[in-house]
Amino acid sequence: MPKRKVLSHGSGAAEERPAKRKQQHHLYLVLDDWEDGYSVRKVELDDSDSDSDEEPTPFAEPLVARFCAVHDHSYAFLTHGTKIVAMKPPDVSPAIPAFDTATSALVAMPWPKFRMNFGRPILISIAGRIFLFINDTHYLGDQPPPPPLPLIWGRTYVPHQPQEPWVWTAVGTPEARLPFTASCGHCHALHPDDRTLFVSAAYWTDESEQGTFSFDTDRLEWTRHGDWQLPFLGQAYYVAELDAWVGICRHKGGTGHLCSSDVVPVGAGPTTLPHWKLAEERLFDRECPRHLGARLVHMGGARFCVVEYMWHEGDDEMPCKGDPDGWYVGPPRVVVRLTTFGVKYGVDGELRLESRRVRSRNVFNRAHGFPDTYPVAFWI
């Protein structure tokens, strides 16, 4: 066996070690631009700025995958490790499809026993498990590894025994039952302990459902923290540099702006609304007639990307009408604008955006007329 090479101690250098390979992350977009389902594109965020007055261009990046399953809603997509999971496919689908961005492989994930005929759930990946919150709590852990294969006469013997099943687990305890209606949960954030999920919800039938709650994924139980609600819309993210959650503001007068909130202590029981701050700079204009929505993507550290989607300006005069099933059908072309920026606190403690850059403005044709089939973005 060759000996490891050791540098001379007289040089003051240490023993040579192979450099640790830094994990490369990319922005992935899931687009409703295919008649039979969705397309996945890996978008490169280069150092150039995009002129907002220029005509948006089609995506230059080639497709990396396609989901052959039409979804009514974009919220059905989530990430689990390096996988993009297309939850809630049509009932005719034999499994839940997932695309692994690390291996470029298609993964078939099992259906829950109830086949997911329900309203809008809360879907999130926490500590190696996909959690599905409806009325009750369900989770899917990573598939167990196959058993080691024995050697017989110097050859690997493949036994005729099935691999341990990859199944959903239903948590039937009263502590795991949602204390609010899942579709009324308007924002959520993962605590920096990486095991506790905080959710703010409005009430549906009872005012006791309104407020902020936390779910401990180890103990599998909910805790109510009060009738106040976090200031975010959608998912917020913990930024260690600020020791705060950061997300898009949901309050009137703050829409289109970023905001930050102090982290709620775990196990604190009833609390009051934590201190929160609103950034002065607006990221997008929600009142613009062409605006459809925006998603915040955490790129690690204090870096973010806002993915805004809007009708194409050239389609403004195109008539919009409902189809026979009552769906709202708008113009076919959707413009996607990617804006990256960093966050920090200023000298007076105010929340500030820095290095804001519009990276690209691209356009694609919608393939379906569903009311919520807009771009989904992930940083993987």
How many residues are given for the chain? 380
Q: Which of 27, 38, 56 is nearest to 336 (CA)?
A: 56
Q: What is the pLDDT of residue 380?
A: 96
pLDDT at 355 over 90: yes
Q: What is the pLDDT of residue 293?
A: 92
Q: Which of 217, 39, 38, 260 is nearest to 122 (CA)?
A: 217
Least confident of 178-192, 309-323, 355-369: 309-323
pLDDT at 316 over 70: no
Q: Which of 46, 38, 36 is nearest to 63 (CA)?
A: 38
Residue 197's SS3 state is strand
| Dist. CA 254–CA 279, nearest whole Å | 9
The pTM (predicted TM-score) of the whole model is 0.85
Encoded tokens for 340: 């990256």
Summarised one tens digit per residue, pLDDT across range 76-107 is: 899 999 999 998 766 667 788 999 999 999 88
| Cβ atoms < 10 Å from Cβ of 310 | 22
Q: Per-residue confidence at 250, pLDDT binned at 50, 70, 90?
A: very high
Mean pLDDT in residue range 364-370? 84
Q: Which of 160, 155, 207, 158 is nearest to 181 (CA)?
A: 207
Beta carbons of 208 and 184 less than 8 angstroms apart: no
Encoded tokens for 336: 């996607």
Transcribe 241-277 into DSSP letters.
TTTEEEEEB-STTTTTEEEEEEPPPTT--S--PPPEE
The DSSP H or E segment spanning 237 is: strand 234-239
Q: Which of 17, 135, 121 is nearest to 77 (CA)?
A: 121
Q: What is the pLDDT of residue 9?
A: 29
Summarised one tens digit per residue, pLDDT across range 23-70 is: 689 999 999 999 888 999 999 887 767 766 778 999 988 899 999 877
Q: What is the pLDDT of residue 75?
A: 87
Q: What is the pLDDT of residue 17?
A: 40
Q: What is the pLDDT of residue 102?
A: 94
3-class secondary structure for 23-37?
Answer: CCCCEEEEEEEECCE
Mean pLDDT in residue range 262-282? 91
Q: Per-residue confidence at 116, pLDDT binned at 50, 70, 90?
A: low
| Dist. CA 85–CA 68, nearest whole Å | 13
Between 97 and 278, where is the model more confident?
278
pLDDT at 2 over 70: no
